[in-house]
Structure 1
Amino acid sequence: MKMSAAAAALALPLIGLILVNFTGQCHAALQVGFYKDKCMSDTDVEDIVSSAVARRVNRDRGLAAALIRLHFHDCFVNGCDASILLDGASSEKTAPPNLSVRGYDVIEEAKRDVEEACPGVVSCADIIAMAARDAVELSEGGRYNVETGRRDGLISLASNVDLPSPTFSVSQSMAAFSKKGLNLTDMVLLLGGHTVGFTHCLLFQDRLYNFQNSGKPDPTMDLMLLKQLRFICPQNSTRNTPVSLDQNLLSTFIVDNSFYKQIIGKRGVLQIDQELALDPLTKDTVFSLATCNGFPVRFGQAMVKMGAVDVLTGSQGEIRKSCNVTNNDSNVLGF
């Protein structure tokens, strides 16, 4: 069954069990500690963002996965420029894959706190990247160093949103990642963020009843999982119940390599997740990640690499006063 445009939303979540300090390679004008000594006081803006994120995630653990996904959805459209935050009748927020994105208010809250201490200096794009890093750490996935120095974009159009779909094959997904300068291993690592977070019945219901218009379930799905998911998502039901992407339910809010172990056991919920463990292009990488303990560090490295996609730096873009509106009053947004 062909999925609707709304089914193009990937639930991209979290990371591991050990604390890690990782210093990434600098990308273009980005650097670790970009904001050091750029404020009038000795305030560390990264600490301000971390405090804001912790306040919210401690009340709602699911927000951690949402913030990782928000960073992914921003970087895959026009690069990591906070264009996903802009409001408008036809902005990126209104595109079907982004209708279920949340965490915008967390970024706004962090921005307000940062502006009080250091007005007009810190970009919303950098706050998204910091918040994703903090979400990973709060989910026991270790801490990696975020490169900063991004500036905010001025254009946000729903028509530009072309995110990889959960129904993609490995080859189709790889083509989408390759356009962003990310390789096959980066893709497997970043999709491993599904070790935390949830999806909904709409995004995988075809696998349960009518896979690829066969009138039958996806034969690659574990039969016990099939039975469980059919109970949660009845055929022809409008129910859109949340389902954990990592079917080890003890690990739902923890970023570890459990997700890879589950898909090796044919317990992947999304089609693309399951195909990672079956496709000759990716199955060896999946097996390696499932049997070793290096996922948190490697995930951090992949997040840093993704965070450098098509960034605006120097005199490009702007530093927004509020993350959901541009400082420019002209019609540059296109909506």
Structure 2
Amino acid sequence: MSSNNTAWITQNPEVEEIKRKALVIAKARVPVLITGENGTGKEVLANFIHNNSAPKEVVAIKPFVTVNCGAIPDDLIESELFGYEQGAFTGAEKTKEGAFELANGGTLFLDELGELSPRAQVKLLRAVEYQTFRRLGGKEEVKVDVRIISATNIILHDSIKSGDFREDLFYRLNVIELYVPALRHRRVDIPLLTDHFLKLFSEKYGIEKLYIEEECIRALKNYNWPGNVRELKNIIERCVVLSNNGRINKEILPNHISSQSAQLSENRQTNSESSANRNYIEVEIGTSLDEIEKKVIRQTLTSVNNNKSEAANILGFSRKTLHNKLQKYDTIH
């Protein structure tokens, strides 16, 4: 079983809705911006869109090219995206195609989009807008037909306000935005994903039968997963390697997962009332609707560590709507 199917092992209605939208988007070839925390499966979603954009026999010959914008030095990003001509600089012994040409007819996935420098953003904007560019050192325009999918864990609206990201590029790449929720907000999927990874690593390490104890599953469900699905996958691989004849118990889990689970259980028993208060908002009769909305937005932002994309998703707003409301209620930060 391929781990590329991970994004759709779900009982979460929100993730199922993302899948439904992705299938529709796949046929349209419009620019897509995928947002969410690191490890949530943004590249898996990009692959899913690409793989459903045409019949399987056609997709098989269409390239999917990934550029990690945060891993390429600024002085190399232009040649990485657009290639270069022979003699363009010292060491350019022959013409080299860049990511745009390599992805021609298929999909170019720009990961960590928010890490692009302002200089690279200017170059990218023109290529995205006109689907043409010049290789470094070249004079002729190169024409391509590329679907562009971008991904970021950065709140780009904040980067626009700070001057770190171009607003015109943002709106060109953000024709459709898909937000992938954090694993802690889809805990119902943790047992399903765990079972998937157990099967995956059972095949990889040649262990025919794996069994994970129920206490271990409870600990996994109680953990907050800052590294999201990627972290869960790594933890399950670790457990499989350390398993005792295929049996995984709580002692095999890393201490930070076991201790967080124990702490959470204790908090639930001794602080049930205060826990409930964190999930509800009391409003006095006579409070204006604006004040109520402001309070709801403030508490939601606090609950997700001021992650505006996640707060907007919980509240049922678009990211832009939340941004406008924050400007309206300028006392909320």
Q: Same fold (TM over 0.5)?
A: no
Bigger Rg, structure 1 or 2: 2
Task: Identify, as 1 or 2, the structure richer in strand.
Answer: 2
**RCO greater where, 1 or 2, for CA within 8 Å and sep 6 or more?**
1
Task: Identify, as 1 or 2, the structure richer in helix.
Answer: 2
Normalised TM-score (structure 2)? 0.25
